[in-house]
A and B are shown apart, each in its own frame.
Chain A
Amino acid sequence: MTALRYVYALCFPLGAPLQEQMKGIGGAPTEELEHHGLVAVVSDVPEEDFAETPLKAHLEDLDWLAATARAHQHVIDVLTGVTTPLPLRLATVFRDDSGVRSMIEDREDDFRHALERLEGRVEWGVKVYMDDRQTDTAEDNITATKATSGRDYLRQRHTRTMAHDELWGKAEEFARRLHTTLSSHAEDARLHTPQSATLSRAAGRNVLNAAYLVARGRSEEFVELVDRTGDDSPGIRVELTGPWAAYSFTGLTEGET
């Protein structure tokens, strides 16, 4: 079996060795490949899975994709605990170490700038959901009194639409205010496309999906701020995820070579 080199992230050399051996994709131990003062965190992956043709097929297999994505994220998570990694997109694969080294040489200035900019910062994900079920319940109560005419039907439908619109407007306003508040407590912010409920399986409709770049030392304050703002609005739910590596703030997503 020939092995390829899978790169998870780039970072500055770690001050101290990791307390425990990190396991990457397929349980393979990760290694730190240092070159020009930068470290690529890599592990071996089998060619029969990660060569072009099998990889393409695998990416369409949700089970494989989920397991690989989680293994990738696990490595990034552990790194985030000890340093500030520059996370790479899933499935960045080289034939051998020399390929990894020349990649570092090609873009070392970009990497260094990004790492310096992000040093000591983490990303927090904040999502706001509007709880559709509230208006749905109201809907059930109304349909219990069955429309006796087209006019009644239209009137009932109008009442439902109004209840829904009102909650929607409230949720949007809430999300706007929350985003303004959180942005003022973060160094940078990104608005992402709201997640579809069918993919995330989360209850309710996602009205805000944002990421905030926050200094590690100010994260406690940020988390408390999110906790405080989320509580007193019926029908609206705030969800916090993180700390993530600064995925949304690398500034290098367009820099494909």
Chain B
Amino acid sequence: MTTPTRLPSPYEGPNSGASLADILERVLDKGVVIAGDIRINLLDIELLTIKLRLIIASVDKAKEMGIDWWEDDPALSSRARRQELSRENAELRARLERLEATREEEELERAHSDVRSAPKVERGRGEAKLERARGEDRSEGVRGGAEPERARGREKRERARGGKEPP
């Protein structure tokens, strides 16, 4: 899908539909840089665009947040920088805890399914032998028992490959 065809023509105001992001990208980032009499540190503008990219969801959001958001910006305020560090610390600690909890859970889960499936295979085979002997077709039980082994092996391999699609 593309936007309707717009062609260069005088006085049309062709970019009235351009988003603020498109406009800011060009008027702040591109265009000829000339040092005027009013020296604003161009780094400030570059910093600003980076901040816009990272932080600001939208102009509306910015209004919601209050226009003073930069006061809490670590790039502009050392107080904010200190706060940022301790916040980041806390966040990392929390993440670590979550990760460890998840891993324990997964290990527990794996241990359980090992316990569950290992004897099942034996029982399945045993039953199958028994059932064949009885002339009954219960081969489904065999597949049901062997399948988890194969699946787990595949998943381990996939994990080792970083979750990429198997060939």
Compute how far the CA of A92 lies from the CA of B70 in the bound complex, rounded to whole angstroms.
Answer: 23
In the complex, the answer to whether A93 meets B38 with C-beta atoms within 8 Å is yes
The reply to whether the CB of B45 lies closer than 8 angstroms to some CB of chain A is yes
Contact of B3 among A63, A239, A255 (CB under 8 A): A239
Q: Which residues of B sit under 8 angstroms from A138, Cβ to Cβ?
A: none
Compute how far the CA of A214 lies from the CA of B5 in the bound complex, rounded to whole angstroms.
Answer: 15
Chain B contacts with A in 27-60, Cβ cutoff 8 A: 27-42, 44-45, 48, 52-54, 56-59
Q: Which residue of B lies closest to A4 (CB)?
A: B38
In the complex, the answer to whether A122 meets B8 with C-beta atoms within 8 Å is yes
- Number of chain B residues whose Cβ lies closer than 8 Å to a Cβ of chain A: 69
The reply to whether the CB of A140 lies closer than 8 angstroms to some CB of chain B is no
Compute how far the CA of A193 lies from the CA of B115 in the bound complex, rounded to whole angstroms.
Answer: 51
Contact of A158 among B32, B113, B163 (CB under 8 A): B163
Q: Which residues of A sit under 8 angstroms from B133, Cβ to Cβ?
A: none
Q: Which residues of B sit under 8 angstroms from A81, Cβ to Cβ?
A: 8-12, 14
Give A176 Cβ to nearest chain B Cβ, in Å.
Answer: 18
| Contact size range, A | 35 or more
Contact of B40 among A56, A114, A161, A202 (CB under 8 A): A56
In the complex, the answer to whether B163 meets A92 with C-beta atoms within 8 Å is no
The reply to whether the CB of A141 lies closer than 8 angstroms to some CB of chain B is no
Q: Which residue of A lies closest to B19 (CB)?
A: A200
> When A and B form their complex, what is the total count of cross-chain residue pairs whose Cβ atoms lie within 8 Å?
227
Chain A contacts with B in 170-209, Cβ cutoff 8 A: 192-193, 195-196, 198-202
Contact of A73 among B27, B38, B67, B158 (CB under 8 A): B27
Compute how far the CA of A220 lies from the CA of B34 in the bound complex, rounded to whole angstroms.
Answer: 33
Give A121 Cβ to nearest chain B Cβ, in Å.
Answer: 10
The reply to whether the CB of A103 lies closer than 8 angstroms to some CB of chain B is yes
In the complex, the answer to whether B2 meets A69 with C-beta atoms within 8 Å is no
Give A115 Cβ to nearest chain B Cβ, in Å.
Answer: 11
A-B contact pairs, 21 of them (CB 8 A): A59-B40, A62-B59, A66-B20, A69-B27, A89-B32, A89-B33, A90-B31, A94-B38, A103-B34, A151-B152, A195-B25, A198-B56, A199-B52, A200-B19, A201-B19, A240-B2, A243-B7, A243-B15, A244-B26, A253-B32, A254-B33
